[in-house]
Amino acid sequence: MSKVTRFTAADPGPAARVAGFLAHLRAHGFHLGVAETETAMRALSCVHPITPKDARLALKSVCAGSGEQCTQFDLLFDAFWMADGRVRQKIMPAQHASPPQNTNTTRTDETQHSGAKGSLHAPEDGAEGQDSYAEGTGKLIASKAGNLMKKDLRELVSADEIRAAEQVAIRLGKALRDRRSRRQMAARKGRTIDLRRTMRRSMSTGGEPLRLVWRHRPDRPVKIVALCDVSGSMMHYARPFLAFLAGLMRADTASDAYLFHTRLVRITDALRDPDPLRALNRITLLADGFGGGSRIAGNLQRFADSYARKFVDGRSVVLILSDGYDTDAPGNMAGALQKLRRRGCRIIWLNPLKGWKDYAPIAQGMAAALPHLDDFAAAATLNDLAALEHRLARL
Amino acid sequence: MALHIAVSLGRPLLLEGAAGVGKTEVARALATVHDTDLIRLQCYEGLDANHAIYEWNYQRQLLAIRAASDAGETGADVEARIFSQDYLLERPLLKAIRQEKPPVLLIDEIDRADEEFEAYLLEVLSDFQITIPELGTITASARPMVILTANGTRDLSDALRRRCIYAHVEYPDRQTELAILASRCPQVEGHLAAQIVGFVQKLREEELEKLPGIAEMLDFAAALGGLGIKDLSDDPAVLHAALATLLKTQTDRAAVPIEVAARIAGKAA
């Protein structure tokens, strides 16, 4: 284990260090408020005697909020407290908004500023942001790898398009939802009596429940899960599809989005970012390998094995946006889709090539997938997606 | 550690992890250690406040109203009477805050309940008081130790996560699992116990749809005991039959045929 970080003599004390650590976590995407800082302090104070191991566990249980964050926490903890004896100058990273006291990062060298502050979320970006990032000591490892591809996505999608896509996404979502609610209406035979309200009403008629009050289950929205292929062959269509994903995420809080090329990446959280452009930047960081090869079957398989277990159920509609040119064996495709089907979801494959004249799904992967799809439709532009509305409603 | 902090700070503890890693068992153990009651609220889709907190006993109320009208009681009296404690059915949450001694409140599989319920729960968990319109506010007489479990059916809201101390529960390591087996099934001999644990741990590394949890491991040990097996590698056919306790889907059964099971057993030995 690396040695413990040393602090400068001017250090204001342990409480400030813990607060600094919390700010360090916050800077890395943990949602922690002042209340958590207080809880963290109190948690530490109820551990006796305190060792680095206990402190780690204590802080982890307060700060981490999911399995993913637990892993991330360990790295961040090491970066902050176990920085190999390095001297930490600034305990408290100040907030971005206030320039006078802007020490901004917990890292030792001040050259980080440009990288951490402005450039990250700006639509047009100079080269300086990338350089300073590479020197970062504790900032996310993924950012170094992803930065190379930063430009691509931002050139692809503009804020206007996202807004337009949002409209489309909302309408599509509605189309799917309506269908769901119709179904519920038909099955609503077994409505139950609301005894509580019936009793209340009966008070006015002397305890005789003359007017019955009924209860029924509210309609529930479907969850849209979108898997977007961003391999080389799909580059032309990535633009509308990404905008669509971004719009979908912003319009519908229950939906979920993934990108895949040779790997599968969950981009839901990144796309939910309140600032649409920053959201795209975050995806860019995630989507290392954008425009590379495509392993559709492998990724679907991985999806079915991992995320689908958590997020896909009988109420989900899985949208696959891909051209079906796959480097994996076609046999795997059928297996993966079958597995996905078994979760009870509906699968819709949107293929940009299908809109072409004389298109036939002869790509082996596509042919293998066809029997397992609920619908197979063409979609190459945002307008196409909008046109899908009726079709989905009819499904 | 997380448990210690949660109890010391009086915060709810959120346990997350795959099915069968012993999340629910934590609450049971906590109740045993503190020698208090365990009140369990099993969440399911469509769980609403009526089932989780309180409900009026409508049938009794109806009867009382009928009886009262025959006896000629006036409306106000009847109303006061039928909305009293006697006609209140306590559900787990209300029960938990009305105990004399702080109980352990286990809210199991919170991710199965809907988001509306989660929001309601937040209110109860932060103030430990429940308002019944007809009776007024009931404040907790003892602050229960709250344990929530989730296994990722859906994402929990940040608000709930924020209020809880969080711990992610993994499958136990070899030593821990051996200790569990030894305490639960003391009749299993040391050699076989090591084999069983080794076998199950190896099995978890295979690509299975549903990994065997601790309860499955204990079933497996009990099954082997019932079959009179002394050594796992003795009889592959019996071993394969006993796998019924570990593998619960058809695909998983197909993925581990007799030969594979025997090979894993050989490795574990």
In a domain, A127, yes or no: no
Which residues of chain A does B69 touch, with a Cβ-Cβ cutoff of 8 Å? 206-207
Q: Are A164 and A234 in a shared domain?
A: yes
Q: Which residues on B lie below 8 Å from A42 (Cβ)? A: 9
Among candidate residues A25, A69, A36, the one with its CA nearest the CA of residue A269:
A69
- Check residue A291 and give its pLDDT: 64
Residues A275 and A328 in one domain: yes
Do residues A64 and B168 touch, judged by C-beta distance below 8 A? yes
The pLDDT, as a whole number, for residue A123 is 41
Residue A295 lies in a domain: yes
Last residue of a domain, one of A58, A88, A108: A108
pLDDT of residue A182: 38
Q: Strand locations in chain A, DSSP E? A: 6-7, 87-88, 192-193, 214-215, 223-229, 256-260, 264-266, 316-321, 346-351, 375-378
Check A31 against B158: CB less than 8 A apart.
Answer: yes
Task: Let me know whether A103 and A160 are in one domain.
Answer: no
Q: Is residue A252 part of a domain?
A: yes
Residues in B touching A46 (Cβ below 8 Å): 4-5, 8-9
- Residue B22 above 70 pLDDT? yes
Domain assignment present for residue A114? The answer is no
| Domain contains A120 | no
pLDDT at A157: 60
Please state, as a whole number, how many other Cβ atoms lie within 10 Å of the Cβ of residue B82: 23
Name every chain A residue with its beta carbon within 8 A of the beta carbon of B78. Answer: 207
Q: Indicate which CATH number applies to the domain containing A245.
A: 3.40.50.410
Residue at token pair 């629910």: B24
Scan for tokens 């006015």, then name that residue: A204
pLDDT tens per residue, range B142-153: 888 889 998 776
- How many angstroms away from the CA of B19 is the closest CA of chain A? 12
Nearest-by-Cβ selection for A310 from B152, B166, B167: B152
Which pLDDT tens digit goes with each residue over B118-143?
Answer: 888 887 887 888 888 888 888 888 88
Cβ atoms of residues B143 and B10 within 8 Å: yes
Say if the Cβ atoms of A61 and B50 lie within 8 Å: no
Q: Tell me if B5 and A62 make a contact (CB, 8 A cut-off).
A: yes
Interface A-B, measured as beta-carbon pairs within 8 A, has a size of 86
C-beta atoms of B62 and A57 within 8 A: no
The minimal CB distance from A61 to the residues B2, B58, B158 is found for: B2
Contact A209 B9 (CB under 8 A): no
Note the pLDDT tens digit of each residue in B70-122. Answer: 887 777 777 788 888 888 888 888 888 888 888 899 998 888 887 778 888 88
- For chain B, positions 154-173, list CB contacts with chain A under 8 A: 154-155, 158, 161-162, 165-168
Quote the pLDDT of residue A153: 47
Task: Please answer yes or no on whether A61 and B5 come within 8 Å at the CB atom.
Answer: yes
- Nearest C-alpha in A relative to B168: A67
**Structure confidence at residue A342 (pLDDT):** 82
Q: Do A65 and B153 touch (CB under 8 A)?
A: no
Please indicate, yes or no, whether residues A96 and A159 belong to a single structural domain of this protein: no
d(Cα B231, Cα B197) in Å, to the nearest integer?
13
Is residue A371, in this structure, part of any structural domain at all?
A: yes
pLDDT of residue A8: 61
Q: Which domain holds residue A288?
A: 145-395
Mean local confidence (pLDDT), B212-233: 85
- Same-domain check for residues A273 and A383: yes
Residues A207, B165: C-beta atoms closer than 8 Å: no
Decide: B220 and B196 in contact? Cβ < 8 Å: yes
Residues in chain A within 8 Å Cβ distance of B168: 64, 66-67, 70
Residue A190 confidence (pLDDT): 45
pLDDT at A138: 37
In chain A, how many domains are there? 2
Taking CB atoms and an 8 Å cutoff, what residues of chain A touch B161?
65-66
Using 50 as the pLDDT threshold, list the residues of chain A that sit under it. Answer: 1, 92-154, 178-190
Following DSSP, what letter does each residue of A78-89 receive, concatenated? HHHH-STTPEE-
- The CA distance from B63 to the nearest CA of chain A, in Å, is 9
Query: Which of B48, B155, B166 should we substitute to test contact with A (largest number of A Cβ atoms within 10 Å)?
Result: B166
**Residues 6 or more apart whose Cβ sits within 8 Å of residue B46:** A217, B114
What is the rounded (10 degree) CA torsion for B217, B222, B224, B230? 100
- Indicate whether A117 belongs to any domain: no
Q: Is A134 helix (H, G, I), strand (E, B) or coil?
A: helix
Query: B82: Cβ–Cβ under 8 A, 6 or more apart, which residues?
Result: B56, B60, B61, B64, B65
Q: How far is B153 from chain A (nearest CA, A)?
A: 5
ω into A49 cis (within 30 of 0) = yes
Angle subtended at Cα B161 by Cα B156 and Cα B164, rounded to the nearest 5 degrees: 135
ipTM of the complex: 0.71
DSSP codes, A321-355: E-----SS-HHHHHHHHHHHHTTT-EEEEEEGGGG
Say yes or no: A248 and A370 in one domain.
Answer: yes
For residue A356, is it within any domain?
yes
Nearest CA-CA partner of A193 in A168, A219, A212, A218: A212
Q: Check if B85 contacts A (Cβ < 8 Å).
A: no
With 0-12 CB in 10 A as exposed, 13-18 as middle and 19+ as buried, what is B194?
middle
| pLDDT value at residue A189 | 41
Checking if the pLDDT of B261 tops 50, the result is yes
Asked whether the beta carbons of A194 and A213 are under 8 A apart, the reply is: yes
Residue B46 at interface with chain A, using a CB cutoff of 8 Å = yes
